Amino acid sequence: MAAKIAVLGAGAWGTAVAKAIADKGHDVDIWSHEASTADDINTNHINGQFLPEVELPHNLRAMTDIGQAAEGKEFLILATPSLFLLDTIKKILMVPSIREGQTAIGVITKGFLPTQKGPRLILETLEDYLPGFYHKSLVYIAGPSHAEEVSRGKITGLIAASENAKNSIRFRDLLKSNRLLVFSSFDVRGVQVAAAAKNVIAIAFGILDALKTGAAENGIEDMFGDGTESLLLAAGLNEIQILGRAMGATHAETFTSISGVGDLDVTCRSVFGRNRRFGKEIIEKKLLSSFRDLDDLIGRINEIGYLPEGVVAAKFVKTLIEEHRLKMPISTSLYKILNRELEPLDLLDGLLSNLQ
């Protein structure tokens, strides 16, 4: 029996997830902030701006009225970037089916959210706004995935994490197919930390990648290889686990599963990774030269032309490092680079001295 489903956010990942569900025969409404994107989906059955060259099924319908999209749905998936997620949730609080707790809510956004208590994980922050029905019942969905691959049917694995086992299984069954494998987890906090913090490491990885391939152009010794990248990857995973434990992760295997090492690896190494791309362009295009500091970069992030979530996460991770008194040299160095306190070429010097 087909379910009523909405995805709020018509970026690349939101569109890919909506397509995966629609391909199973469900009617899916997707909310787009941009009218041009909605028109493109409804008229041409593509999302040319965010997911070009992927044909979308006719049972995937776009709309610009967020209330209309959310009302009366059995499943609702939040897919807007972390910068706009709170605004999105505030817009649907008075939707009757949300207010009455009739809709199961999942989240595929990665990152931390700013609050008066400092940066917090997404689900616990959303629970402060949503009716009490949703306390410990939201589902967080993450894993080593790219919209470009999922939308083209490449085999991919995801984690559906929730303290509500029934809801985790419901979203697992909604999403899974012979190409999309979905597993359940109770470690909601660990999965969220891994999904957010890996984007910070991926920017550092992109910087290293650019230094490795352009050593001569940058006037530095050719001393970076595959082993250097693996060193950074392993040390980065260790930092993610350190932060995860400090923030209440409950299962050590979260960080050795697809939501930990798997998501980190694909984010760092894939050509589709926006955070890796941003790190590379810090070197290759000197992107940071146009910005005063990290706050200026975040405030003008639209000028980049794409959204590297790790930029915002780097600021929040730095705050969490200080709050929990953690030693995380990669994340700390990356923050200083984005804040124009360190030059990108100083990244490796700092890492080598701090990792020993």
Instruction: Give 88-104 pLDDT, tens digit per residue.
Output: 999 999 999 999 999 99
Average pLDDT over residues 207-215: 83
Residue 212: pLDDT band (50, 70, 90) is confident
pLDDT of 350 > 80? The answer is no
Say if 4-186 and 189-355 have the same CATH topology: no
DSSP 8-state symbol, 51? B
pLDDT of 352 > 70? The answer is no
Average pLDDT over residues 173-196: 97
Structure confidence by residue, pLDDT tens digits, 108-141:
999 999 999 899 999 999 999 999 999 999 999 9
120 pairs with which residues across the strands?
113
31 is in an annotated binding site: no
The percent of residues above 70 in pLDDT, for the chain, comes to 95
Average pLDDT over residues 148-175: 97
Predicted confidence at residue 192, as pLDDT, reads 98
Domain spans in the chain, listed from the N-terminal domain onward = 4-186, 189-355
Predicted confidence at residue 121, as pLDDT, reads 97
CA 182 from chain centre, in angstroms, equals: 17
Query: What amino acid is encoded at 42 in this protein?
Result: N
pLDDT of 282 > 60? The answer is yes
pLDDT of 345 > 90? The answer is no
275 is in an annotated binding site: yes
Q: Which CATH number fits domain 4-186: 3.40.470.10, 3.30.420.10, 3.40.630.10, 3.40.50.720?
A: 3.40.50.720
Q: Per the residue annotation, which of 4, 73, 117, 198 is the catalytic one?
A: 198
Predicted confidence at residue 21, as pLDDT, reads 98
Measured at the CA of 105, the angle between CA 103 and CA 108, to 5 degrees, comes to 155
Q: Is 91 a catalytic residue?
A: no
Cα 302 to Cα 171: distance, rounded to the nearest angstrom: 32
Structure confidence by residue, pLDDT tens digits, 2-12:
679 999 999 99
pLDDT of 346 > 90? The answer is no
234 is in an annotated binding site: no
Cα 142 to Cα 153: distance, rounded to the nearest angstrom: 17
Predicted confidence at residue 356, as pLDDT, reads 58
168 is in an annotated binding site: no
Average pLDDT over residues 102-107: 97
Predicted confidence at residue 222, as pLDDT, reads 72
Cα 230 to Cα 340: distance, rounded to the nearest angstrom: 26
CA 32 from chain centre, in angstroms, equals: 18
Average pLDDT over residues 21-50: 97
249 is in an annotated binding site: no
pLDDT of 314 > 80? The answer is yes
Predicted confidence at residue 304, as pLDDT, reads 95
270 is in an annotated binding site: no
Strands (E) across 60-187 are located at: 60-63, 75-78, 104-107, 112-113, 120-121, 139-142, 156-161, 180-185
What is the average pLDDT score of the chain?
94
67 is in an annotated binding site: no
Structure confidence by residue, pLDDT tens digits, 216-265:
566 666 777 888 899 999 999 999 999 999 999 999 999 999 999 999 99
Which CATH fold topology does 189-355 show?
N-(1-d-carboxylethyl)-l-norvaline Dehydrogenase; domain 2 (1.10.1040)
84 is in an annotated binding site: yes
Task: Give me the torsion for CA of 71, 76, 82, 84, rounded to 10°.
Answer: -10
160 is in an annotated binding site: no
Predicted confidence at residue 225, as pLDDT, reads 83
12 is in an annotated binding site: yes
Structure confidence by residue, pLDDT tens digits, 141-156:
999 999 999 999 999 9
